[in-house]
Amino acid sequence: MPIIKKKDRPVVEVFKGVFRHTLGCGKDVLMAKFEYAKGSKVPPHKHSHEQVTTILKGKQRIIISGDNRKEEFIVSEGDTFVVPANFEHEQHTLEETVTIDSWSLTL
């Protein structure tokens, strides 16, 4: 079983003020930590994988759309939300935020 040392984890600025720290990626799952600057945004997008996000710190406004419905809500420390596969979603950071995200990689 591989061990991934902190020093070997890639860090990428995926959007202005949004940094992804890849914690691990296996055959069927990907897990990452994200750091969001206050005011940063993840624009509307979708992917073929289900996503689960837990807020470790901070507050965000989340918008999820799909199956002819749209939900908008605020999440903060300790909250978790799920984005179904192929649903459009976006994030607006209301205060500095840290999350742990995971994606199923199987279709």
- Alpha helix segments (H runs only) across 33-101: none
- Alpha helix segments (H runs only) across 1-107: none
3-state secondary structure of 54: strand
Instruction: Give the model's pLDDT for residue 1.
Output: 58
Q: Up-side HSE of residue 57: CA atoms within 13 Å toward CB?
A: 9
CA-based angle 61:66:72, to the nearest 5? 20
Alpha-carbon distance values, 59 to 48, 69, 73, 80 (Å):
26, 23, 11, 12
* pLDDT, tens digit only, all 107 positions of the chain: 578 888 888 899 999 999 999 998 888 999 999 999 999 999 999 999 999 999 999 999 999 999 999 999 999 999 999 999 999 999 999 999 999 999 988 76
Domains in the chain, please, with CATH?
Answer: 9-104 (2.60.120.10)
**Predicted model pTM:** 0.91
Q: Is residue 89 classed exposed, middle or buried when 0-12, 13-18 and 19+ CB atoms within 10 A define those classes?
A: buried
Instruction: Give the model's pLDDT for residue 50.
Output: 93
